[in-house]
Structure 1
């Protein structure tokens, strides 16, 4: 048990704390934050609605237009083995971009089969359609890549694995 003097001191301390709390609470020194009830959300701006005009599309066109892709064969140049640098910049200061043509065929199913075969070996590849509408060719390309040496390694690997001899192309801007 606590001694008589300790009990008196404890009671006195609690009384002082209670009196201070009552003074603060009842005097209004502590106030809750006042919410300003006079403020309102501003009205919407008086802007009239904009009428959008739909473009007039001529549906009578019968001409088949083939869009040119980024790696269209017109933008590719066959590069002999020792002619171009392994990596670097072209005349415009842009990085050299290399592609490896694995197969070119006029049968889309055959191109898709070759694409699946190349992708199953871990290469990033795509099919590029080229040629006029009468004679469409589908090229299976590996790339694009900024390092010619990686595509040369892929070319020798595909030659050993599948007996496919690819051609190395540089993208010309």
Structure 2
């Protein structure tokens, strides 16, 4: 054999051996549809059942009286206080609304000052004038609110933050 042919055969054998070693490392020839059946979850714990004592009725004859009436569905009525009229329509078929009178001043500057402080704290405040016995008063109001309970809750916040004693009144536009 010639020297060149011999080198070519040896080179082919070396390349084939390298291919057999390197190709399986570089490429994964495993079946892509093969499912891994090894679980990494821990085994289920051993739990023993526990006996629970049954509840027994109390000894003797117990009368609940007032509590029984709470659960009597036939006699139950909605809990609405119509005397207060928290929401709904008034006599003129207009929506009922509530305002807080936060203050009443003879000086317009004081009323404007309180109104600005209320507005800076996020309250919707406005000033209305009222003439009583030829004296003009400037009243600072907050609101209106459609629900009286919200007006009462806001009253407590305004009273504590501004050292006032606000009055909850029905809003008349």
TM-score normalised by length of structure 1: 0.48
Higher relative contact order (CA 8 A, sep 6+): 1
Q: TM-score, normalised by structure 2?
A: 0.48
Structure showing greater Rg: 2
